[in-house]
Amino acid sequence: MLALRWVDVDLDLARVYVNHAVHRLRTGEIIFRTTKSARSRCVVALPPSAALMLREHSESEQRRRELVDGATVDDQQLVFARLDGSPIPPDSFSQSWRRLAGRNGFRRVRLHDARYTHAILLLKQDVHPKIDRERLGYSTIGTTLDIYSHVVPGLQDAAAQAFDTVLRGSPSKVL
């Protein structure tokens, strides 16, 4: 998210193109790299509410830039940056997340836990694991299922029920 540039966002199609990651070196320097693997570079469909929020953020940034220095928002600029346009340090962002979560009653919730929750909620909504894998950038569906499927109760029961339905010859939804 911190490496996302406006060129990576298509608000008309509600898509984000994940191509880079941000890293803070031991020296404190912040650098951008391509993602760990080719599979990590992916296209993520945004929910309409997120696309709307990003559009509002883009318009707000445009107005702010015009007031501050008369410039416009450039496609290469970061979507989420400090006021001067410089990158937000990953550790600062994580600290802000923890404070926000704490103020809302969630103790010891890491930013990575939001990713975990996202994956679980999709699986619980019967979103195909391949889509979950693509959204999370994992290399295989197996990785996704190994990490997340144990928390979705009833998958074994649903599989047994579906198999029984097939054996009886009843038309029904099959996993």
Domain boundary assignment for the chain: 1-87, 110-175
The length of the chain in residues reads 175
**What confidence category does residue 35 fall into, taking pLDDT thresholds of 50, 70 and 90?**
confident
Residue 50 has a pLDDT of 94
Burial status of residue 103 (CB atoms within 10 A of its CB: 0-12, 13-18, 19 or more): exposed
Does 148 or 71 have the greater pLDDT score?
Answer: 148
- Which pTM value belongs to this model? 0.73
Query: Cβ atoms within 10 A of the Cβ of 102, count?
Result: 12
Give the residue carrying structure tokens 């999709």. 122
**What confidence category does residue 149 fall into, taking pLDDT thresholds of 50, 70 and 90?**
confident
Beta strands in 19-175 (DSSP E): 20-24, 30-34, 42-45
CATH architecture of 1-87: Orthogonal Bundle (1.10)
H or E, element range at 15? strand 15-18
| CA distance linking residue 134 with residue 142, whole number of Å | 12
Average pLDDT, the chain: 85
**What confidence category does residue 130 fall into, taking pLDDT thresholds of 50, 70 and 90?**
confident
Q: Which residues pair with 16 in a beta bridge?
A: 9, 44
Distances (CA, A) of 58 to 7, 19, 146: 12, 20, 38
> What average pLDDT score do residues 42-61 get?
92
pLDDT tens by residue, 58-78 = 999 888 888 877 776 677 789
H or E, element range at 20? strand 20-24
